[in-house]
Amino acid sequence: MANSNSSERLMWFVAGMAVGAALGLLFAPKSGEELRRLIGEKAGEGRDYLKDAGRDAYAKGRELYDKGRELAEDAADLFERGRKAIHS
């Protein structure tokens, strides 16, 4: 649950940064061509950042899933051994 809250905060932080950057660019004294190029660069940087963050989140989720599955298998094995011990 704490991970979900952290992910949500990170998402809002990144969204706030994007809005702030866009507003800053729009009010900056630059030519239209220069501004479009800069917006394109920043959008690319943001896309790359989000892509990397998504990969990291997926990898961490996969790791947690694998650990949980392993724990469940160990618990099931322990339960089965205990059941056999009682009935033997």
Q: Would you tell me how many other CB atoms lie within 10 Å of the CB of residue 17?
A: 13
Helix H or strand E segment including 77: helix 32-87
Alpha carbon distance 71, 41 (integer Å): 45
Q: Is residue 2 very low, low, confident or very high in pLDDT (cuts 50, 70, 90)?
A: low
pLDDT at 20 over 90: no
For 51, the domain range is 2-87
pLDDT digits (tens, 9 = 90+) for 26-75: 777 767 788 788 888 988 888 898 898 889 999 999 999 999 999 999 99
Alpha carbon distance 25, 48 (integer Å): 19
Structure tokens, 30: 């630059």
Q: What is the amino acid identity at position 4?
A: S
Work out how many domains the chain is built from and give that number: 1
CB 55, CB 49: distance < 8 Å: no
Alpha carbon distance 10, 16 (integer Å): 10
Residue-level pLDDT at 64: 94
